[in-house]
Structure 1
Amino acid sequence: MRSLVVFSVFFLGLATTLSAQKINAAYRLDIRKASSPILIDGVLDEKAWEEADVATDFFMITPMDTSFARVKTDVRMSYDEDNLYLIVVNHHAVEGPYMVESLRRDFSFGKNDNFLLFMDPFEDLTNGFSFGANAAGAQWDGQMYNGGSVDLSWDNKWTSKVKNYADKWIFEAAIPFKSIRYKKGITEWGINFSRLDLKTTEKSGWAPVPRQFPSASLAYTGTLVWDNPPPDAGANISIIPYALGGVSKDFQNEGSIENRGEVGVDAKIALTSSLNLDLTVNPDFSQVEVDRQVTNLDRFELFFPERRQFFLENGDLFAGFGYTTIRPFFSRRIGLNAPIQFGARLSGKINKDWRIGAMNMQTGDVEETALPSQNFTVMALQRQVGARSNIGAIFVNKQSLNYHPDTTSENPIYSQFNRNVGLEYNLASANNMWTGKAMLLQSFAPDNTGNGFVHAANLKYAAGNLTWSWQHEYVSENYTAEVGYVPRRGFYKVNPFVGYRWFPKSEKILSHGPDGSMTLFYNTKGVHTDNNSFVSYNVRFRSQSNLATYFVYDFVKLQAPFDPTNSGNEKLPVGSDHYAFSWRTEYVSKPQSVFTYGFTTRMGGYYADGELYTLTTDLGYRFQPYVSLALNTTYNKIILPEPWGTTDYLLVGPRIDVTMTNTLFFTAFIQYNEQIDNVNLNTRFQWRFKPASDIYIVYTDNYLPDPFNVKNRSVVLKFTYWWNI
């Protein structure tokens, strides 16, 4: 506890010391109301564009950040009562075709020639929105949080067009004021523009950004200066109904054909220009893309990110609290084993300094498992302090309704309630070089059985060459977060890290240098239980390919029985010690080629004096811009003494994306997972017949590999329509 107080005091002092005026305050772009109608056609021929100011003379971010960009980019912005307009002329510096993966929405940034807009309509240097497109016209949109992270799962209603010429490509867009949130009345927004040109391997930005940071860093935005405050979006209500029909059959258990017919509705109501209310009744997420499977050789639960649209806007207020392995709230716990009946979310900015989030979800009961209906309530509050730092609080409550405890079971499948309260301080200096966090969590459960405590803190410094960080965590044995993601309890953890990069004057190598890290765990009695340490050397080439090698030391004193094959075999005993040295290599090829590849290898010791050999490959080929092929494979060979012997696990995941237009998509994803003895086929057809309105056909099969028999099969047809009132 004392260490957390010391860290908190240090953070507050550091934030005060590093608070400063906006770094790129001198970069200003005036925006005026359009003097003529603007047609979104990718042609710069309207009078409004002739009169608009031009943002040009971009600065190079990579490979170097000390000069102007070689690739010329010109940006103009305007607006009317309904839309914010943008037109970008992306000039070519090198002859040849553009480079893209496909027309798939929310493309991979590093594998596409693209232009992106980053805007901070709150002028808090922390939250905002991103819009853009690749050179073939595929759209990109996301909500920004933590000063530079972009959640691409967030989708909204806007229109764009890309037109290609011999010497340039032009991107033009109209973003409705109803589709974004912004502070009413202010006449200056944070703004920056990012351009990636793969032929020259150059990433550039209008307002300069140091190369150690992403171009999305809101700490380095310039200023968009409005001639008048942005128009009031007016009554901003969106109704999004859906209807679906489907059939499914469980062949493995000789079940009968089951028919589905459902309707539901979502609503988005803007209470103010920066505060939004989301409502849902009988939601369905059958169109959400399936998770990519992984081979699990770990002792703890795996994490899979949230993909459901309802939970995403301002999702960082709820899901961003804590650390990646200490989350008091994880929305995928809701609706995991029971249908969601209805829900409501209030989220957004109250003013420049305060953000608020409140959520309530209700699930139905499940007769098959005797799971009662449950209510989930989450409340979050965030107050900005200093330049870009904030203090946050969270309350999470899971309550079982019509509670009838199972007195016959030592481990009932549900509890009467579980609650968490937490407080955290997030540090982000004005120049983004200092970041960190300090937090406290307390859980509450019936009869004090799940009353537990968490405290943790970290501090990171990232300059041009040197990066170092320190993190420590404490999670008590009784801490419980039934609506969270906390795979491990009852430990102390310390984790120092240091890395250094040289940037030589070389035609081949952009940067190279070592990293070193040590992660130590102790149980609550002070016994050393884990040590994961590594030293690595990393090389980034000017072609944008990457090579890294790692030498790793692992030590584990088991705190619970564990099967090292995770296959239900005999378990290693509690208290047994296991030591291992291993060598790992990672390589990712340059993204400019139509054929891309990457691989990771691992060879060395494993539990019980065994050995583990791992090979992971990622292969891709594109027939741009319409077809993208990918093949992901993981092979693990585990060699252990008896009774385990030798175990082989193969995971293969071929995928095909066909993008006939930027509104018509087909995806087929096959996964063969030897560890769980399953073949999964998931195909999804999507027609975006209007902005944010879709028709989906989703077909799913699961097979037993040997013999190749169907386990279960389903097909769903779903219709959604985004209706603005």
Structure 2
Amino acid sequence: MNLLVLAAALVAFAAPSFAQEQAGSSSTVVIDGSPAPVAPETITRDARNRATVRAIKLASPLVMDGKLDDEVYQTNKPFGGFLQVVPKYGVESTERSDVWVTYDEDNIYVSCRCWDEAPPDKWIANELRRDTNQLRQNDHFGVMFDTFYDRRSGFMFYTNVLGALADYSVIDEGQSNTDWNPVWESRTAQFDGGWTVEMAIPFKTLRYRSGLNQVWGIQLRRAIRHKNEWTYLTPVPQNLAGPQALNRVSAAGTLVGLDLPPASKNFEIKPYAISRLSTDRLRATPLNNDFEWDLGGDVKYGVTANLTADFTINTDFAQVEIDEQQVNLTRFSLFFPEKRDFFLEGRGVFDFGRGGAGAQMGATGDTPSLFYSRRIGLNGGRVVPIDVGGRLTGKVGEYGIGIMNIQTGDEVVSRTPDTNFSVIRVKRDILRRSTVGAMFTNRSASSLVSRDGSNQAYGVDASLAFFQNVNIGAYWARTATPGLDADDDSYQGKFDYTADRYGARAEFLKVGDNFNPEVGFVRRDDFKKSYAQLRFSPRPRNIKRVRKFTGEAGTEYVVNGAGDLETREHNARFNTEFENSDGVTIEVTDTYEMLLQAFRPVAGAVVRPGSYSFQTVQASYTMGPQRPVSGTWSISRGGYYGGDITTLGYSGGRVTITKRFSLEPRVSINRVSLPTGEFTTRLYGSRVDYGFSPRMFTSALLQYNSSDRTFSSNLRYRWEYRPGSEFFLVWTDEQDTRGNRFGGIGLRNRAFAVKATRMLRF
């Protein structure tokens, strides 16, 4: 009932804005850049190299084959003139790119003839899976559309030589939402002298204002990875060298000449059917090959051109990859990233206290989150059923809106009761790239209160961006939990200067002892922290093999609620980035820790209360991600709470065997000696991927963790048999490797699932 009332209120709230948007859709837009080109010209540039591009209206759809042999390519001029970010900032690309932007009543098309002097066997093209990190390390071409020309948010699409698909969205120049998976297609081909691409993006996939002479923002990116060269249509800040510059929406060019069809209401229904065979020996009443089937689905409705409502019923996440295991040798909780589609789409709206535009304005790991979606539907490593949920996200004028309400069922093993979760987020655009906002969260059943009781959290925040490199962020938040009445707030102020050659950061953070956002995440409480960092990163001109040196020095002081020093850390780091994108890093850390309570890093080992001072030295070598074998090797040696620790690691690894087949191994080994004993932790894992086509792949994630002696496997087959509609086969298995003689139980749980979805668009 709460959800239905909320949905009705949201639609009523949004209705006036829809009329306002349509009424204002034909108003004159001031171009932020060079004047509009006049046919037959397709591009103009001003003295600052800002570009304005003219879109070409088609009489009939393109033939999507990637060959660029339609008549439009012969009768209309292409444009190009891409500019390097690296290796030579501001210089025209070493390879020519001929681009056309066209559209008809149903799609907008972006086509490019990517010239390349290197032979095809030198091109980097080894990824077919959708939305992977490796895809952007291939030679690729992509586009960003700022469909409301607000210079803040955009939709991104890119593809490689093999035609693999990657897409994501960005809100307020924040972090990428790579789990936005719209319907679109790409076709590629090769010619003597390079490769070609045609991308067709349906207008139904996008949110925009309809009408004549519409204006969008546009940015184009071409990565020539075999040269380690990144190029863009318009100038972007040098400190954003690499793929992240596509997210700087305010630096994009302008797209004119768009006579757009009426924006679709974008009504989508995506039902699913699933059957599952499960064994679970952790339950009070164990399951053994228990068969079940279920139905459910999602509904998406475009309330206005820029406001979308989503509903989910009997939500299932069987196709989601399991978490990558981590080793925790600290006394604080681990943070695991969200992987479930429903919570990932539109997540940028729910960012709170991020501070400053762009992904550069991060925060240190102790910063709490007011909203952490893994609190919903997961508890104690168990899946909690989601009965029904709804979400409204988008913009109403200058206001960003995010409202969510989820109802979950109970779960026996983790003793989770029926719970309702609500989140309300409002942001207001100010200045050119800044926002102020507020957030409220509610959990109907507090996890800390034995009797009936709920939990609320609320706060305000500001994210201010000045010039290209100055970011300021601040927030204040408070929680309400029965029995926790004092010291229940948290606040933070941050400053970040992110120029390419110099950098500086400063932060003050306070988290109260009773600050308890139960729809959020708190790693550490009852402290005040002061943090500062300076950076110097020159680009030497007389050392050909070196692209950039980076030296950083930082210091951190943490006092507890009583005013006693609890943590002090001084850190120095030096990195060399080579022209081939390899890198070597040396890092030295001096740490002081005061423990008021003992903690157990692993079973059988104890770190006792007391004061500890220790130093650590770490060295690492990173092989560039475009290489056939890539990743970071690291070794560290130092003190650990009165003892010592040696750590060996290999992370971010990838071994390309063929264009379709790859491995992604990782290793972490920690050898620890304490006054109370010695222990070694080992974590081994690998992802094994095989891509049949851009819309079909199989993947396996295999992991062993010595901390709990478990071996887990997660095998997935995904086939997008038509755009937006998918078929999955999923096998998950977790084994206790100790065996029965040593207190183990062998098989802990196992499941085999078959799931099919069908996208219906109206």
User: What TM-score does the superposition give when structure 1 sets the normalisation length?
Assistant: 0.91
Partner letter of residue 104 of structure 1? Answer: R
Determine which of 612, 630, 635 is the counterpart of 2:664: 630
Cα distance change, pair 646–570 in 1 and its aligned pair in 2 (3 A): closer
Alignment partner, residue 564 of structure 2? 527
Q: Would you say the 8 A contact 1:30–1:53 is kept in 2?
A: no
How far did 1:496 drift? 0.6
Alignment partner, residue 15 of structure 1? none
Partner letter of residue 522 of structure 2? Answer: V
Quote the Cα distance in structure 2 between the aligned partners of 1:538 and 1:448: 45
Alignment partner, residue 227 of structure 2? 200
Alignment partner, residue 248 of structure 1? 278
**Does residue 657 in structure 1 map to residue 689 in structure 2?**
yes
Alignment partner, residue 156 of structure 2? 130
Partner letter of residue 191 of structure 2? Answer: Y
How far did 1:187 drift? 2.0
Listed one character per residue, the Cα deviations across residues 616-662 of structure 1 (whole Å, up to 9, x for unaligned) are 114422133210112111111001122xx211111110221000111
**Does residue 83 in structure 1 map to residue 83 in structure 2?**
no
Cα distance change, pair 224–250 in 1 and its aligned pair in 2 (3 A): same
Cα distance change, pair 104–370 in 1 and its aligned pair in 2 (3 A): closer
Alignment partner, residue 169 of structure 1? 195
Determine which of 29, 36, 49 is the counterpart of 2:60: 36
**Does residue 538 in structure 1 map to residue 575 in structure 2?**
yes
Q: Would you say the 8 A contact 1:423–1:440 is kept in 2?
A: yes
Cα distance change, pair 251–234 in 1 and its aligned pair in 2 (3 A): closer
Partner letter of residue 144 of structure 2? Answer: F
Q: Would you say the 8 A contact 2:353–2:473 is kept in 1?
A: no
Quote the Cα distance in structure 2 between the aligned partners of 1:636 and 1:414: 42
SS of 1:45 mapped into structure 2: coil
Q: Would you say the 8 A contact 1:37–1:46 is kept in 2?
A: no
Determine which of 326, 345, 349 is the counterpart of 1:294: 326
Quote the Cα distance in structure 1 between the aligned partners of 2:182 and 2:672: 46
Alignment of 1:388-537 (within 5 A): 388-400=433-445, 412=449, 416-429=453-466, 431-449=467-485, 452-505=488-541, 506-537=543-574
Partner letter of residue 267 of structure 2? Answer: I
Quote the Cα distance in structure 2 between the aligned partners of 1:525 and 1:561: 19
Q: Would you say the 8 A contact 2:353–2:474 is kept in 1?
A: no
Partner letter of residue 150 of structure 1? Answer: S
SS of 2:204 mapped into structure 1: helix
Q: Would you say the 8 A contact 2:477–2:489 is kept in 1?
A: yes
Q: Would you say the 8 A contact 1:94–1:200 is kept in 2?
A: no
Alignment partner, residue 4 of structure 1? none
**Does residue 572 in structure 1 map to residue 596 in structure 2?**
no
Superposed CA RMSD: 2.2
SS of 1:464 mapped into structure 2: coil
User: What TM-score does the superposition give when structure 2 sets the normalisation length?
Assistant: 0.87
Quote the Cα distance in structure 2 between the aligned partners of 1:370 and 1:501: 52
Alignment partner, residue 260 of structure 1? 292
Quote the Cα distance in structure 1 between the aligned partners of 2:53 and 2:712: 51
Alignment partner, residue 372 of structure 2? 330
Determine which of 216, 239, 246 is the counterpart of 2:269: 239
Alignment partner, residue 554 of structure 1? 591
Quote the Cα distance in structure 2 between the aligned partners of 1:704 and 1:590: 36
Quote the Cα distance in structure 1 between the aligned partners of 2:519 and 2:107: 39
How far did 1:293 drift? 1.0
Quote the Cα distance in structure 2 between the aligned partners of 1:519 and 1:391: 28
Number of aligned residue pairs: 690
Cα distance change, pair 54–715 in 1 and its aligned pair in 2 (3 A): same
Determine which of 340, 349, 353 is the counterpart of 2:395: 349
Listed one character per residue, the Cα deviations across residues 502-526 of structure 1 (whole Å, up to 9, x for unaligned) are 1112220001131011121111222
Partner letter of residue 129 of structure 2? Answer: R
How far did 1:396 drift? 0.5
Structure 1 stretch displaced more, 414-423 or 236-245: 414-423
**Does residue 68 in structure 1 map to residue 92 in structure 2?**
yes
Partner letter of residue 532 of structure 1? Answer: E
Cα distance change, pair 626–492 in 1 and its aligned pair in 2 (3 A): same
Listed one character per residue, the Cα deviations across residues 537-569 of structure 1 (whole Å, up to 9, x for unaligned) are 110000011111101011111143212x33253
Cα distance change, pair 414–276 in 1 and its aligned pair in 2 (3 A): farther
Quote the Cα distance in structure 2 between the aligned partners of 1:467 and 1:424: 24
How far did 1:298 drift? 1.7
Cα distance change, pair 370–288 in 1 and its aligned pair in 2 (3 A): closer
Alignment partner, residue 269 of structure 1? 301
Structure 2 gap segments, 5+ residues each? 1-30, 35-47, 355-362, 741-745
Cα distance change, pair 22–389 in 1 and its aligned pair in 2 (3 A): farther
Quote the Cα distance in structure 2 between the aligned partners of 1:570 and 1:464: 44
Alignment partner, residue 180 of structure 2? 154
Quote the Cα distance in structure 1 between the aligned partners of 2:596 and 2:395: 44
Listed one character per residue, the Cα deviations across residues 409-446 of structure 1 (whole Å, up to 9, x for unaligned) are xx6568611111111110122x4311121111011122
How far did 1:184 drift? 4.8
**Does residue 222 in structure 1 map to residue 264 in structure 2?**
no
How many percent identity over aligned positions? 28
Listed one character per residue, the Cα deviations across residues 254-275 of structure 1 (whole Å, up to 9, x for unaligned) are 6432122111010110111111
How far did 1:221 drift? 3.3
How far did 1:174 drift? 1.0
How far did 1:230 drift? 2.8
Partner letter of residue 133 of structure 1? Answer: T
SS of 2:378 mapped into structure 1: coil
**Does residue 723 in structure 1 map to residue 723 in structure 2?**
no
**Does residue 278 in structure 1 map to residue 315 in structure 2?**
no
Determine which of 653, 660, 680 is the counterpart of 1:648: 680
Quote the Cα distance in structure 1 between the aligned partners of 2:317 and 2:734: 19
Cα distance change, pair 50–440 in 1 and its aligned pair in 2 (3 A): farther
